[in-house]
Amino acid sequence: RDKIPHLPEIHVESSLNLLLRRAKENRTVDIEEYETTGGYSALKKALNKFSPEDIVVLVEESTLRGRGGAGFPTGRKWRFALMNPPPRYLVCNADESEPGTFKDRIIIERDPHLLLEGMIIAGYALGAKEGYIYIRGEYPAGYLILENAIKEAKDRGYLGKNILGTDFSFDIKVYRGAGAYICGEETALLESLEGKRGHPRLRPPYPAQSGLYGKPTVVNNVETLSNIPIIVTYEAYFMNIGPSGFYGPKLFPVSGKVEKPGVYEATMDITLRELIEMAGGVKGGKQVKAVFAGALGVYREDELDMPMDYSPKGFGGTGTTIVLDEDDCVIDALLVVTQFFHHESCGKCTPCRIGTYEQHQILKKLKEGKATHKDIDYLRHLSQNIPANSICGLGFSAPNAVSDVLRKFPEEVEAHLKGKCRICG
Ligand code: L3W
Ligand code: SF4
């Protein structure tokens, strides 16, 4: 515990007190505090009251959707894995690296036993004996906190052989990434976990069919697994939390020009506008110019009334919200995003490797007032061709922000073409 680095001050607020119930203060909840506040009672309930199949049905009925960005139904993924013979593995994707995303780290650093409890219940439901947490290398404190929490859980009989005197045995190991965003893509993560270079595999087969060491593997995000104890605790009542089809709590990391950047817990019927208000509104009472939604794209002020759910008209993704105000330049923000994707492309697919580089170069020209309309046409061409000829989510989403800015902020693009941006001169 002495070795754990200082945790960063991150503002946390919740209207629900579910996922963030114990995470309001900037400290790690130890096993004693976790138990005395109801922790591990969902695991006890799962093992005493429910069969593994009962848990899978509960998760299916909850309609919980994966919180790692794609919103895939968790119960359906578990069911796919169960169609394949054991051994089965459970992998927690804690490689949180999306620009502006820092929600999973709050659970890991402040309430690690919530994640462990979720994983143990998931392991029981899936008939898995081993679980892995793949944590990004840039979360050194989180790594030590998880190692410590695993030791605490083993000492109390929640992990290891014959958990709580039953015939269910399950172990969790933590594996540190080395700073590559691509290792958050589930198949690259599995390659890395196997000790290989973190390059994505072609899908199908999906990990649920053939994952770690070719065995059926469920890869779930930290926040997804942390919802499992809540589902087991609340059972059917879980479906009273939030709007129909998008039940359960959701974490939203909000940053940029807001009064109170931080992680907010709410139901998914909250709108983007309400979320920004929850974060204290735009700094200094200014207007929102744009919201960058991580890899998903960019929204304008007149789109702020969309719900933060996974419907076709909803915000979706990881819930990442980076707010730009009226005095920010969207091309500046785009330069950061395109630099990120170029740097993080693993290079396996030529359109992604070269296309992300070219996107960034053209935007640099645009920023300097040296780009032409032909360059903008080429940017549009890249926005279609990079995703069409790439094999993984990074290539699919790398041009999202670029095509959104071209479509939604034509006046800013035109001003840069003329070398007359009001903000950057
Ligand atoms: C079995 C089938 N399983 C789909 C599983 C699949 C995966 C999940 C979702 O990328 C996106 C990416 C980022 N049988 C299946 C099946 N599955 N069909 O369902 O799959 P998919 O392909 O829709 O998405 P993905 O590969 O998981 C995730 C976007 O999310 N994103 C952010 C990511 C960043 C982070 C982070 O930093 N923490 O998560 C934001 O929008 O661009 O497109 O498990 O195996 N027939
Ligand atoms: Fe690598 Fe990009 Fe291809 Fe994904 S799309 S495998 S990141 S080159």
Quick: pLDDT tens for 383-412. 999 999 999 999 999 999 999 999 999 999
CA–centroid distance, 317 to ligand 1, in Å, is 9
Please say if the pLDDT value at position 238 is more than 90.
yes
| ipTM of the complex as predicted | 0.96
Tell me if 275 sits within 8 A of 321, measured CB to CB: yes
What CA–CA distance (Å, rounded) separates 350 from 346? 10
Per-residue confidence at 425, pLDDT binned at 50, 70, 90?
confident
| pLDDT for the residue numbered 1 | 55
Kindly state if the Cβ of 175 falls inside 6 Å of ligand 1: no
Kindly state if the Cβ of 146 falls inside 6 Å of ligand 2: no
Question: In angstroms, how far is CA 92 from the centroid of its own chain?
Answer: 11
Q: What is the mean pLDDT of residues 15-20?
A: 96
The most distant pair of C-alpha atoms in the chain lies apart, rounded to whole Å, by 73
Reported as a single tens digit per residue, the pLDDT across 239-274 is: 999 999 999 999 999 999 999 999 999 999 999 999
Q: Please report the DSSP string for 27-91 in residue order.
A: S---HHHHHHTTTTHHHHHHHHH--HHHHHHHHHHHT-B-TTTT--BHHHHHHHHHTSPSP-EEE
The residue whose CA has the least distance to atom 1 of ligand 2 is 346
| pLDDT for the residue numbered 294 | 85
CA–centroid distance, 4 to ligand 2, in Å, is 34
Q: Specify the ligand 1 atom closest to the Cα of 69.
A: 30
Nearest CA to 278 out of 2, 13, 7, 9 is that of: 13
What CA–CA distance (Å, rounded) separates 67 from 251? 9
Provide the edge-to-edge strand list for the sheet that holds 11-14.
11-14, 262-266, 250-256, 321-325, 288-292, 298-300
| pLDDT for the residue numbered 15 | 87
Please say if the pLDDT value at position 2 is more than 60.
no
Kindly state if the Cβ of 69 falls inside 6 Å of ligand 1: yes
Tell me if 102 sits within 8 A of 94, measured CB to CB: no
Using N-to-C axis directions, what is the helix angle for 410-417 and 350-367, rounded to 10°? 70
Peptide bond into 204 cis (omega under 30): yes
Q: Are strands 288-292 and 217-221 parallel, antiparallel or unpaired?
A: unpaired
17-48 as b/e: b if 16+ CB within 10 A = ebbbbbbeeeebbebeebeeeebbebbeebbe
Per-residue confidence at 305, pLDDT binned at 50, 70, 90?
very high
Nearest CA to 52 out of 228, 288, 241 is that of: 228
- The DSSP letter of residue 171 is E
Nearest CA to 395 out of 177, 204, 200, 135 is that of: 200
| pLDDT for the residue numbered 5 | 79
CA–centroid distance, 398 to ligand 2, in Å, is 10
Q: Between residues 3 and 67, which one has the greater pLDDT?
A: 67
Nearest CA to 62 out of 184, 241, 192 is that of: 241
Instruction: Count CB-CB contacts under 10 A for residue 372.
Output: 12
Kindly state if the Cβ of 163 falls inside 6 Å of ligand 1: no
What CA–CA distance (Å, rounded) separates 393 from 112? 28
The residue whose CA has the least distance to atom 16 of ligand 1 is 206
Peptide bond into 387 cis (omega under 30): no
- Ligand nearest the Cα atom of residue 315: 1
Kindly state if the Cβ of 255 falls inside 6 Å of ligand 1: no
Tell me the pLDDT of the chain averaged across its residues.
Answer: 97
Nearest CA to 257 out of 176, 193, 326, 205 is that of: 326
The full length of the chain comes to: 425
Please say if the pLDDT value at position 109 is more than 80.
yes
The residue whose CA has the least distance to atom 4 of ligand 2 is 392
- The DSSP letter of residue 236 is G
What CA–CA distance (Å, rounded) separates 240 from 234? 10
Per-residue confidence at 337, pLDDT binned at 50, 70, 90?
very high
pTM: 0.97
Reported as a single tens digit per residue, the pLDDT across 86-98 is: 999 999 999 999 9
| pLDDT for the residue numbered 323 | 98
Tokens of 258: 């807001």
Give the H/E segment covering residue 110.
Answer: helix 104-110
